[in-house]
């Protein structure tokens, strides 16, 4: 019993990975994309599960499958860690649908399909929000009416928790210390992006809020915005709340500023002197810098700043831009180390720096597999 199947479903995709936990080797992995998007594509996440099962034929050995690990986006304030799935847990994930209307239904459909495909295998839910359940009340509370907070659950939950947890543990290991001994700022910069302030191994603040829209500028999301903008646009243009929500989530961010949500395109265009791309890059990096300043104040002492995910792992421009002018706070990159391309965990700060600046490739699938086994009482 040494195999774990990890299923990571987005609103229109399923990433899967079958892992041999003895040597952490990938026995199979892939992505089913554009689920439910058009006629002829995979109809829903249950049909997507059939595609995954087809792809695993010949590689998956049911007698050796110890667990199926599921990424679930929203665990509300109910799930503080990985959880063995039963009917009651499915009901609780269903009750949280209003908080994550696109993701939790997709996650649930996939969980149900996997439970019927593997009725004898334990299934574990790993929540994107769980790592942030350690936020103190003053960090997760919005200053809004009590009924909104208590009856409607409006508060900061935070996301990307699996990645922040994995990266913060790896970063502590790179410093040669236990996670409980280290304070750090983790920058997860992918299509979605968020910052996390980690004190002694625990999340104490994070930039995404009740939904993944708040915080940093992202591929297609605006990040922080005056909350009055939505009502203003509704009044001026007659658009519905739903349309405005769509625009802020799907048609804003880098895409709105520079015409592409892919940082590679923005970087290339900025290097060619295109003004819109220059501005997009500056807005993107400045937002990160403001959060670093805020989290330095929140943490007091910071031992490391860690970059991860597609942009964080690959864009030297963004890493340098985000830390520009922070030398007097002990945070800087060595231009030579920063420019070096690599898929490995590495230091990019100069040898004399007070604060380590690190690049740590994230691996949410391994983290989900490890947490799934932890729940079953088998240490990874
Ligand atoms: P997801 O949130 O979908 O998991 P990823 O972590 O894979 O996203 O990040 C995707 C982003 O990473 C893309 O927007 C892409 O622009 C960016 N990216 C990937 N490679 C590079 C690179 N070499 N330089 C700059 N950005 C990159």
Say which range, 37-41, 69-73, 86-90, has the weakest mean pLDDT.
37-41
**Ligand 1 atom with minimal separation from the 219 CA:** 14
| pLDDT above 70 as % of the chain | 99
Q: How far apart are CA 141 and CA 130, in angstroms?
A: 17
* Protein residue with its CA nearest to atom 27 in ligand 1: 311
Say which range, 59-63, 265-269, 331-335, has the weakest mean pLDDT.
59-63
Closest by Cα among 240, 282, 234, 236 to 258: 282
pLDDT in the model for residue 40: 79
How far, in Å, is the centroid of ligand 1 from the Cα of 311?
A: 5
pLDDT in the model for residue 380: 46
Residue 328 has pLDDT above 70, yes or no: yes
How far, in Å, is the centroid of ligand 1 from the Cα of 146?
A: 39
How far, in Å, is the centroid of ligand 1 from the Cα of 66?
A: 32
Domains of the chain and any CATH numbers: 3-127 (3.30.420.40), 176-359 (3.30.420.40)
pLDDT in the model for residue 169: 98
For residue 158 and ligand 1, the question of a CB distance below 6 A is answered with no
Q: For residue range 288-317, list pLDDT tens digits in order.
A: 999 999 999 999 999 999 999 999 999 999
**Ligand 1 atom with minimal separation from the 265 CA:** 16
CB 162 within 8 A of CB 368: yes
For residue 69 and ligand 1, the question of a CB distance below 6 A is answered with no
Average pLDDT on 2-15 reads 92
For residue 364 and ligand 1, the question of a CB distance below 6 A is answered with no
Tell me: is residue 71 an annotated ligand-binding position. yes
Q: Which residues are catalytically annotated? A: 128
Could you give the strand order of the β-sheet that contains 14-20, starting from the edge strand earlier in sequence?
A: 25-32, 14-20, 3-9, 65-72, 123-127, 83-84
Q: For residue range 162-201, list pLDDT tens digits in order.
A: 999 999 999 999 999 999 999 999 999 999 999 999 999 9
pLDDT in the model for residue 39: 80
Residue 41 has pLDDT above 90, yes or no: no
Residue 125 has pLDDT above 50, yes or no: yes
DSSP string, 22-90: TTTEEEEEEEE-STTSSTTS--SHHHHHHHHHHHHTTT--GGGEEEEEEEES--TTT--S-EE--HHHH
Mean pLDDT, all residues of the chain: 96
What does DSSP assign to residue 63? G
Q: For residue range 213-267, list pLDDT tens digits in order.
A: 999 999 999 999 999 999 999 999 999 999 999 999 999 999 999 999 999 999 9
Global confidence as pTM: 0.96
**Ligand 1 atom with minimal separation from the 254 CA:** 14
Residue 203 has pLDDT above 80, yes or no: yes
């Amino acid at each position: 019993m040494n195999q774990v199947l990890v299923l990571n479903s987005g609103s229109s995709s399923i990433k899967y990975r079958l892992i041999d936990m003895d040597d952490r080797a990938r026995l199979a992995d892939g992505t089913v994309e554009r689920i439910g998007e058009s006629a002829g594509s995979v109809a829903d996440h249950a049909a997507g599960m059939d595609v995954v099962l087809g792809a695993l034929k010949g590689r998956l050995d049911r007698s050796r499958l110890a667990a199926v690990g599921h990424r679930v986006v929203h665990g509300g304030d109910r799930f503080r860690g990985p959880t063995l799935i039963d009917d009651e847990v499915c009901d609780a994930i269903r009750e949280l649908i209003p908080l994550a209307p696109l993701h939790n239904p997709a996650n649930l459909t996939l969980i149900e399909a996997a439970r019927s495909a593997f009725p004898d295998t334990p299934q574990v839910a790993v929540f994107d929000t769980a790592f942030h359940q350690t936020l103190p009340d003053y960090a997760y509370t919005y200053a809004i009416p009590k009924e909104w907070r208590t009856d409607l659950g409006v508060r900061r939950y935070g996301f990307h928790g699996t990645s922040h947890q994995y990266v913060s543990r790896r970063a502590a290991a790179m410093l040669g210390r236990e996670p409980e001994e280290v304070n750090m700022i983790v920058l997860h910069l992918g299509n979605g992006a968020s910052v996390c302030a980690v004190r002694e191994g625990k999340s104490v603040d994070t930039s995404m809020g009740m939904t993944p829209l708040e915080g940093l500028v992202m591929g297609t999301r605006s990040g922080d915005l005056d909350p009055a903008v939505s009502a203003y646009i509704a009044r001026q243009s007659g658009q519905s709340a739903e349309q405005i929500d769509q625009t802020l989530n799907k048609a804003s961010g880098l895409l709105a500023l520079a015409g592409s949500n892919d940082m590679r395109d923005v970087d290339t265009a900025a290097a060619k002197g295109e003004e819109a791309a220059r501005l997009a890059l500056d807005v993107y990096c400045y937002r990160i810098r403001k959060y670093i300043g805020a989290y330095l104040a929140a943490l007091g002492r910071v031992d490391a700043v860690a970059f991860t995910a597609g942009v964080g792992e690959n864009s030297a421009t963004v890493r340098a831009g985000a830390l520009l002018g922070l030398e007097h706070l002990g945070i800087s990159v060595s231009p030579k180390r920063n420019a070096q391309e690599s898929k490995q965990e590495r230091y990019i700060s100069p040898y004399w720096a007070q604060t380590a600046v690190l690049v740590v490739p994230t691996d949410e699938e391994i983290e989900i597999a490890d947490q799934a086994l932890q729940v079953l009482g088998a240490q990874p």
